[in-house]
Structure 1
Amino acid sequence: MELDLLLTNARALTLDDSRPTAARIGVWQGRLVGFDEELDGLSARQTVDLDGAAVLPGFNDVHCHTTWFGLTLASVDVEALPGGMDAVYAALEQGARAAGEGEWVEATGFSQQDYDNAYPDIQVLDRITGGRPLFMRQVSGHAAIVNTKALEMAGMLEPGYTDPAGGKVVRDEHGRPTGLIEETAQQAVQDLIKPYSADTIVDCLDRATAQYAKEGITSIGEAGISGGWIGHSPIEVTAYMRALAQGRLRVRAQLMPSIYALHEVAANSADDFGLGLDLGVVTGFGDDDISIGPTKIFMDGAMSGETAAMHANYAGRDHPGYLQEDPEVLRRQTLDAYRSGWSVAVHAIGDLAVDEAVKNIGDAIDRYGRHAIPSRIEHAGMVSDAALAKLAHYGIAVTPQAAFADAIGDGMNRSLGDDRVRMLYRGKSFVDGGVMLAGSSDRPCADGNALRGIQAFVDRRTRSGGVFGVPEECISPLEAVRAYTCVAAEASGQLDSKGTLSAGKLADMVVLGADPTQVDPEAIRDIEVRATLRGGEFTHSAL
């Protein structure tokens, strides 16, 4: 037997208890076939001396928005610009000049926290965009800023216009739109831009996954495709397949269709099939490269914009946020999808939303049993002790984003106040409570660099130097690495094929300048990614 690849002189952290470390790693036909003495006497077509570099399983970001991230790389970037709001206006004006007559000006990365909690003046936006419609996404994705032209095109200035369920066109004291549109209200504007072409999405995937490879990411969960405001085209799966065939998809992708993409399927009544995609495709369909994951359901909004649904008002405010739909509608979505074979990934941030989501998923499991791929709470921003116990009992995974700490952690701390902040984006409580804590970034809503995400789990440092939530929720470097590797694979229902360096598993690896569990935790984010391998093939190399 001749190996395809032999890595030598490595310091591998396998995360496999049966063989925790290794110095030599053998790859054949895209899979790991053995380590150290198991490779004695075998030759290889390619041998790479790693000169003592650390090797870990490839990082897995189980909740990100890759098409959206790719779009942002080609949009006007207004994130934390030095120079304040004037710099935002200047960037948008330059973008408008570059756009053709009547073309949309698309921008991304805006956060009012970066600009003294101020929003752009719609009259200034109208002037600098020169009659072109503007769509500027807030960094959370749960709100956007538009100009008057976009409001007109979306029918939001028509007499008798009413806000959609779960969304709002924000108005001033005189009833005039300010340009801020929240949650589901975005869809009316987005529908004027979408659907994007498959070629455009392929270009986005190419740009985005090239960056992923440089950061050691080999697997992702695309958190919402096809339908609703989170989707980009009803044929996004086709775009992913095309990107893979063209060699422009550098990661393995688990795709989560939006619940709004599911519909009633006229199956035989004996099948008791409620909601699905055509051909009866449900969670688990696909292969190692592209597969269908849980369906994405939105319970509420974002804490950064104070639209996440809480039991009590935000600190210093007269409102507690809101659910995206009537609670019974959300419950029916969960139960109908689950009984049809779908696992569910429920976006729930506020404690009210989390409680409702856990209750609904628990009821579905009680009625229909557990699925092979776990259901999940996406973000799990505010989790009470009672909800924590239920998550563990039902085997529900959580995907809190430690990366939120830097950009918006200070704002979230203020929104909750001292009495509730201990429940904010918990970490150690999940690990100690036996809950699957999967690493994720929500990119482009936050920094998607996996090593920075690992450090954020460890130190929870905010931009002001404070702590996101409470320091008791910090986890160890090893626990953080596990979140982005083996626990991420388990939460995706794929631990049999990835997540550890074990014989028979996919040869997805990251080669690092240092082992994140052995360096000063303050230095984790600065570790060099020397190479990334997907199926034993280099997607990035700086060796």
Structure 2
Amino acid sequence: MIFRHVHDVTYRYFAEHVQRQWQNNAVPALYLFSKLRAPLAVRYIKPGAIVVPGLSDSHAHILEYGSTLQLPLEGTKTINETVARVRNYILSNADIRSDKSKFVLGGGWDHTSWPNGAWPTAADLDSDPVIHGRPVVLQSKDCHALWVSQRALDSSLPFPEEVDGGLIIRDDSGKPTGMLLDNAQELVNQPKLLEDDLLKRFNSAIQAAVRYGLTSIHDAGLDPVSLNLFKKEAGRRTLPIRIYGMSYFDENGEYWGNTTKPIIASGHERLTARSVKIFADGALRTGGAALYEPYADNPQTSGFMRLDKEVLFQYIPLFLRDGWQVNIHSIGDRANGIVLDAFQASLSGVNVTALRPRLEHAQIMTKSDMLRLGKLGVIASIQPTHAISDMLFAEDRLGPERVKNLYAFRTLIESGARITLGSDSPVEDLNPLAGFYAAISRLTPGGDSPHGPDGWFPEQRLTREEALRGMTIDPAYASFTESILGSLEVGKRADYVVLSQNIMTIPLNEILSTQVLATAVDGDLVYGTI
């Protein structure tokens, strides 16, 4: 039973009557209540199909995902194959092919899946005659590295010798190779995107989202341009889905927490922006996650923090004081320890339930920090598909003991932490069923893992109920909307999804074949039919 809203006793009576009828009916029925006193409409779903609350992605990057749809580079197995994909993109787009000054933008390449895991270079791009001389900027799969052509490199020089919280990869002679990590990415000069470009990315991403059954996305604020676009769209039309936007934090800018008002349920209750996103460290895939001990496969480094820890101790309490939720990107065990130190110092005497701070990723943590996370009441915003992507290289990178604390979802829950699930798209697949499958199986889509068919560290698997809660009521809580979203209850908004089969009971290997038959927001279908 789905309701746009249930406002009075009359509707409650009808709801109870409908429920009794549904329980006695062998064919599930979907009942849609419209406005007050409107006629009762009945819609039937196919036998075997089920209705679940609208699915939420607690950590994704909408415009970045839309960008990768234009020139997707994920899945390539070599540098040469990736270069060939860029060349074919240029040749198939007449406006770019005819103008060598136009920037070629794409993303999704993953050097860890290439032989020897070697970093690509500008020379690799310019070795192709079609690409040579063009400005090319390619974002990595984890969004923590840029691979650029020589022309894009030259237009951004000179570079400083070092970058705080970032790395310029250089050759033996000290020249930049065309690879820039984390904060060093900001050194690359790129054209300012026009609003039409941004809308094309936005619309592509949202169309994909509703096809996957997503009714809500928490946009994790990688690019400050994103939130400005969402505000404009919410002001001139009803957004197709709900967006919970995280405001970008610039440590070199002025503090804005006391001069900017949070946005709450704007644009027909489709846009909220009441949180700030802060980056603590880099990523495991690119070797930038801040660890206590050096990387097992690169003992010369233990990663790095993207900002000084004093910044965390200074700004977390300020944002909390001014009523902002604080969400911190933190991946390595050292980074997570530092962030929890800052949270612990900042949350003393604070109503944690009212502010709901979040640790975005929380990928590798010591057991003592997992316990501390639970005691502090900080939400762990995790991405299950990262686990099945990283399990192929994680032990080589971290060693056989430290890797046991990576993506330790069960340990987090048993430590008392509240979790919420996301994709980190475009880093991973936007499809929430991929995250559901990864959370409960810890297997590749083909059913494999380095530890066999029971999954990678199978003791860390989530139950199906935990995984579904992590995509429904838990993200609603993490975005302060559990009173109106996240479950199918009288009085809540009618955000729901119709799935072709029951993901709570079907065999594990059938989950990824489940189809989204319909997606509804506020009772209105935004995808599919019933």
Aligned to 1:436: 418
More moved, 493-502 vs 519-528: 519-528
Structure 1 contact 513–529 (Cα < 8 Å) conserved: yes
State the distance in 1 between where 2:258 and 2:30 align: 41
Per the TM alignment, residue 42 of structure 1 is displaced from its structure 2 partner at its CA by 8.4
Is contact 2:443–2:456 with CA below 8 Å preserved after alignment?
no
1:197 aligns with 2:190: no
Alpha-carbon deviation of 1:209?
1.1
1:192 aligns to what SS in structure 2?
coil
Measured in 2, the distance between the counterparts of 1:192 and 1:327 equals 30
Aligned equivalents of 1:260 and 1:332: distance in 2?
13
CA contact (8 A) 1:532 1:540 kept: yes
Task: After superposing the two structures, state which structure 1 stretch, 421-430 or 131-140, moved more.
Answer: 421-430
Q: In the TM superposition, what whole-angstrom CA distance separates every residue of 1:188-230 from its partner, at most 9, and x where no partner exists?
A: 21x5333x333332222211111111111101100016xxxx3
SS at 1:145 equivalent: strand
Greater displacement, 109-118 / 199-208: 199-208
- Give the C-alpha shift of residue 414 in structure 1: 2.1
Asked if the contact 2:282–2:305 (Cα under 8 Å) also holds between the matched residues in 1, the reply is yes
Of the three residues 495, 498, 503, the one matched with 1:511 is 498
Name the counterpart of 1:337: 319
How far did residue 321 of structure 1 move? Answer: 0.3
Q: Paired residue for 1:77?
A: 72
Distance 1:198 1:180 in 2: 28
Show the counterpart of 2:225: 232
Matches of 1:285 and 1:512 in 2, distance apart?
A: 28
Segments of structure 1 that go 5 or more residues without pairing to the other structure are 7-17, 34-40, 265-273
Specify the alignment match of 1:500 in structure 2. Answer: 487
Please give the alpha-carbon distance, in whole angstroms, between the structure 2 residues aligned to 1:263 and 1:239: 23
Q: 1:234 offset after TM fit, Å?
A: 7.2
Mapped partners of 1:142, 1:115: distance in 2: 17
Distance 1:260 1:288 in 2: 28
Aligned length: 495
Match among 82, 86, 90 for residue 92 of structure 1: 86
Task: Tell me which residue corresponds to 2:124.
Answer: 124
2:449 aligns with 465
2:261 match: 281
Pairwise mapping of residues 443-482 of structure 1 onto structure 2 (< 5 A)? 443-462=425-444, 465-467=449-451, 470-482=457-469
> How far apart are residue 513 of structure 1 and its match?
1.4
User: Which position in structure 2 is the counterpart of 1:255?
Assistant: 245
Task: Quote how far apart the aligned CAs of 1:257 are.
Answer: 0.6
SS of 1:294 mapped into structure 2: strand
Q: TM-score, normalised by structure 2?
A: 0.87
% of aligned pairs identical? 25
What amino acid maps onto 2:154 in structure 1? Answer: E
RMSD across aligned C-alpha pairs, in angstroms?
2.7
Contact 1:346/1:376 (<8 A) preserved: yes
Kindly indicate whether the alpha-carbon contact (under 8 Å) linking 2:30 and 2:43 is maintained by their aligned counterparts in 1. no
SS at match of 2:58: strand
The code of the aligned residue for 2:216 comes to S
Partner of 1:10: none
**1:128-187 C-alpha deviation (Å, 9 max, x unpaired):** 323221111110000110122112212245xxx223211111012221222110001111
Whichever residue aligns with residue 322 of structure 1, its letter is F
Q: Hey, what's the Cα distance between the residues in 2 that align with 1:56 and 1:237?
A: 27
Q: What CA deviation, in whole Å up to 9, does each residue of 1:390-410 have, x standing for no partner?
A: 222222111121111333331
Q: Is the contact made by 1:409 and 1:462 (CA closer than 8 Å) also made in structure 2?
A: no
Do the aligned partners of residues 233 and 376 (structure 1) sit closer, same or farther apart at CA in structure 2, a change above 3 Å counting?
closer
After superposition, give the CA deviation of every residue in 1:44-94 in whole Å (9 maximum; x if it has no partner).
2x43111332010011001000111111112x2221226x32221212223
Indicate which of 194, 216, 219 corresponds to 2:216.
Answer: 219
Q: Work out whether residues 32 and 42 of structure 2, in 8 Å CA contact, stay in contact via their aligned partners in 1.
A: no
Partner of 2:275: 294
Name the residue aligned to 1:36.
Answer: none
| Partner Cα separation in structure 2 for residue 475 and residue 164 of structure 1 | 40
* Matching of residues 134-149 of structure 1 within 5 Å: 134-149=136-151
1:92, 1:259 → 2: CA distance? 32
How far did 1:29 drift? 4.7
Deviations 1:314-369 (A, max 9, x none): 11322110000111123222222222221110000000111111121222211543
Greater alpha carbon shift after TM alignment, 339-348 vs 128-137:
128-137
Alignment CA distance shift 1:405-1:470 (3 Å): same
TM-score when normalising by structure 1: 0.85
Report SS of the residue matched to 1:132.
Answer: coil
Q: Is the 8 A contact 1:421 1:470 kept in 2?
A: no
The one-letter code of the counterpart of 2:261 is V
Q: CA offsets, 1:371-422, max 9 Å, x none? A: 5241100000012221122222222111121111333331223211111111
Correspondence 1:46-85 to 2 at 5 A = 46-52=41-47, 53-74=49-70, 76-81=71-76, 84-85=78-79
- Residues 348 and 207 (structure 1), Cα distance of their counterparts in 2 relative to 1, 3 Å cut: same
Distance 1:263 1:180 in 2: 26
- In structure 2, the CA distance between the partners of 1:214 and 1:233, relative to structure 1 (3 Å rule), is closer
The alpha-carbon deviation at position 534 of structure 1 amounts to 0.8
- Equivalent residues of 1:421, 1:469 under 8 A apart: no
SS of alignment partner, residue 289 of structure 2: coil
Q: For residues 92 and 277 of structure 1, what CA distance do their matches in structure 2 show?
A: 45
Q: Which moved more, 1:425-434 or 1:204-213?
A: 425-434
**Structure 2 unpaired stretches of 5+:** 7-18
**1:55 counterpart letter in structure 2:** V
